[in-house]
């Protein structure tokens, strides 16, 4: 597996709190503000095509109803994924993964694709996402997931694309789980990063990234503790132009 140069900051869900989540408008905004990395959530449509969305249900972020996994791509592509955030984003589409990848490539962004399988679709989602990124530019994509089954499936098809295992609270056997999937990094909820865990990660040489950090003081503490990167909604709060640590 190739290495990966973490950007110091990932714009969480595309454009953080400044744009509708998991949209191209959000990704473009992150780039305009100088962000070099974005994180997006990816799930499969009914016909097995990867799209950017966080929830299994369409209700919170789009004008659709029902579940992503029960809706074909043609229907998802007609939805408005912007109006629920603000009328200024009316008509913003729910993007396909390939549109997001093209957008990130054009803007020179690295993208952390969080594989977010709907229930029962872990392997299929990992396999499909892996297939879409297997032949990409080195460093363009970092895969992550809470689902070890999804990451394992992605690894089979895209072994060279770097992976990080995602936890809310990190279990005691994190090191075995990471090495079992040949993961390069560990991502976890910021509130669960104890000083002991940070020290163990540093000692093991495992880069770690924490979500979702929306306060400057918290960010400073996490960087001090050795975090390679943070995920933030507050794109306005941070200066993303700080030099990256590779």
* Active site members: 12, 54
Q: Residue from 111, 166, 184, 198 that binds ligand G3P (CB under 6 A)?
A: 166
- For residues 23 and 82, the answer to whether their CB atoms sit within 8 Å is yes
| Residue 35 touches ligand G3P, criterion: CB under 6 A | no
Tokens in use for 246?
């590779």
| Residue 21 touches ligand G3P, criterion: CB under 6 A | no
| Residue 114 touches ligand G3P, criterion: CB under 6 A | yes
The 217-236 site mask, x for binding ligand G3P (CB under 6 A), equals: --------------x-----
The separation between CA 201 and the C-alpha centre of its own chain, rounded to angstroms, equals 21
H helix runs in the chain, sequence order: 24-32, 73-76, 97-107, 122-133, 148-157, 174-180, 195-204, 216-224
> Of these partners, ligand G3P, Mg ion, none, which one is at the site of residue 187 (CB under 5 to 8 Å by kind)?
ligand G3P
Conformational region of residue 217, where left means phi above 0, alpha means psi within -120 to 50, and beta covers everything else: alpha
Cβ closest to ligand G3P, residue 128 vs residue 212: 212
| Residue 36 touches ligand G3P, criterion: CB under 6 A | no
CB of 203 to Mg ion, least distance (A): 27
State the Cα–Cα distance between residues 227 and 189, nearest whole angstrom: 12
> Of these partners, Mg ion, ligand G3P, none, which one is at the site of residue 21 (CB under 5 to 8 Å by kind)?
none
CB of 185 to ligand G3P, least distance (A): 11
Q: How many CA atoms lie within 13 A of 109 on its CB side?
A: 32
């Amino acid at each position: 597996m190739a290495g990966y140069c973490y950007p110091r900051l990932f714009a969480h869900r595309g454009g953080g709190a400044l744009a509708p989540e998991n949209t191209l408008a959000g990704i473009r905004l992150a780039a305009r503000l100088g962000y070099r990395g974005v994180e997006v959530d990816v799930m499969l449509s009914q016909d097995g095509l990867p799209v950017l969305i966080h929830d299994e249900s369409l209700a919170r972020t789009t004008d659709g109803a029902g579940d992503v996994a029960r809706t074909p791509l043609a229907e998802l592509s007609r939805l408005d994924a912007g109006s629920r955030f603000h009328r200024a984003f009316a008509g913003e589409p729910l993007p396909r993964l390939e549109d997001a990848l093209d957008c990130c490539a054009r803007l020179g962004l690295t993208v952390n694709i969080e594989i977010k399988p709907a229930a029962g679709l872990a392997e299929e989602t990992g396999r499909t996402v892996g297939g879409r990124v297997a032949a990409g530019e080195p460093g363009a994509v970092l895969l992550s997931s809470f689902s070890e089954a999804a990451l394992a499936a992605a690894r089979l098809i895209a072994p060279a694309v770097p992976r990080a295992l995602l936890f809310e609270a990190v279990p005691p056997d994190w090191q075995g789980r990471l090495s079992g999937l040949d993961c390069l990094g560990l991502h976890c909820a910021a509130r669960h990063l104890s000083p002991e865990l940070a020290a163990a990660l540093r000692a093991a040489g495992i880069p770690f990234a924490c979500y979702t950090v929306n306060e400057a003081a918290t960010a400073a503490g996490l960087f001090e503790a050795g975090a390679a990167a943070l995920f933030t909604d507050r794109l306005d709060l941070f200066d993303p132009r700080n030099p990256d640590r590779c």
